[in-house]
Amino acid sequence: MFIIRIFALVFAVFFYGGFLALPSQCPAADRKIENFSSVATALNHAAGQLASRKGNNANGKVNGDVVNTVKDGPGNEVLAFKIEEANGKTTAYITASGSIEHNAFNLSNPDRVVVDLKGVSPGNLKESLPLHSSIVQRVRTALFSKEPLITRVVFDLSGKAIYNTGLSSDRRKLTIQIYSNNMSKLLSGKVIAIDPGHGGDDPGAIGPTGLMEKEVTIDVARRTASMLQERGAKVILTRSGDEYIGLYERTEKANQAGTAIFVSIHMNANEDPSICGTSTYVYGDGSDLSADPRVQRSKELALNIQSDLVRNLGLNDKGIREANFAVLRTSDMPAVLIEGAFISNPEEEKIIAKDEFRRLLAQSIVNGIEHYFAGISL
């Protein structure tokens, strides 16, 4: 067994090109390093490839409610799957024999919603289930990984849509809501300011290997802007290249453009390299201004974005915080500042450097913005 583990470790280092998950004071980052490797590999082979197992489900319908009921068994596994459509949305319910930890994200070309169930086996859940739904065309499941144990559920969509997820109080029932194409158009015509932190002769924080914050923020901002524009939004980038833009100039640009919201993108840093996690800031200085409607709307925006960041990135949740940052104080519209991860943390710096992390970070920001405008509080 020891020899097998050593071989597996060497293989992981060779295959993933440096994704070496060593024990640290930030176990969430260690787990996510492995997960990002798995996700990146899956993207190259199409999300949700079907495993070789055969399903023997008790029953299933494709008209109206769709129910897959499976037998209970040893370990944590899927016990039941139900999906229904009503009021312009498709809702799926996944019940497991134990606690569910999950990660959800969007993929495009073709459009899909992907849900990874961590520590849960698929049981006898069907590999493929066609639907007569205006939103979801088919649901596919596969045993995505044995170590760590991950079951992947893929919702093949008829077009672009948005989603949210929620867990029951005992964490054994996961609800996934997918909203119709009409909901996906809610960003059409919205003017949104995206603020890539730092730039020019201001590199921002610098990671242990020399990765500069300004390089990460402009990359993520461009990805975020592209996704927003695909959904019909008009995006104002406070900087479009590697130039220095003053803090007040950033919000002045957004204020003059009459943007609906202002989202500033940063990576965090701390003298203690063990500090890790993701957080979202809103304006606050202890004055009465902190309670004004603009700040309250900022908190709603922060809640939605932070929820998506934590759910999709899987890093430690450092919560929604208040600060007297200039870009938050001087904006006329709801404004948030995102600290995606700690570039000063060696494990998280490895993650930040990866293309898949940056894509998921941008996607999480966009999802949170969509949920905010849809009036969905997660």
Report the catalytic residues. Answer: 339
- Whether the CB-CB separation of 185 and 254 falls below 8 Å is answered with no
Phi, psi of 334 (to 5 degrees): -55, 135
Q: Point out which residues pair with 206 in neighbouring strands.
A: 212
Residue in this structure with the two tokens 């990805």, named with its chain if needed: 223
Q: Distance between CA 333 and CA 280 in Å, rounded?
A: 16
Q: Distance between CA 324 and CA 283 in Å, rounded?
A: 6
Helix residue ranges, H only, the chain: 2-15, 27-44, 181-184, 213-230, 247-257, 293-313, 326-329, 346-352, 355-373
Strand ranges inside 147-208, DSSP E = 149-157, 162-167, 173-179, 191-196
Q: Distance between CA 177 and CA 47 in Å, rounded?
A: 19
DSSP 8-class letter at 121:
B
Question: How many residues belong to the chain?
Answer: 378
Q: Which is it for strands 335-342 and 261-268: parallel, antiparallel or unpaired?
A: parallel
Strand order in the sheet with 234-237: 234-237, 191-196, 261-268, 335-342, 278-283, 317-323
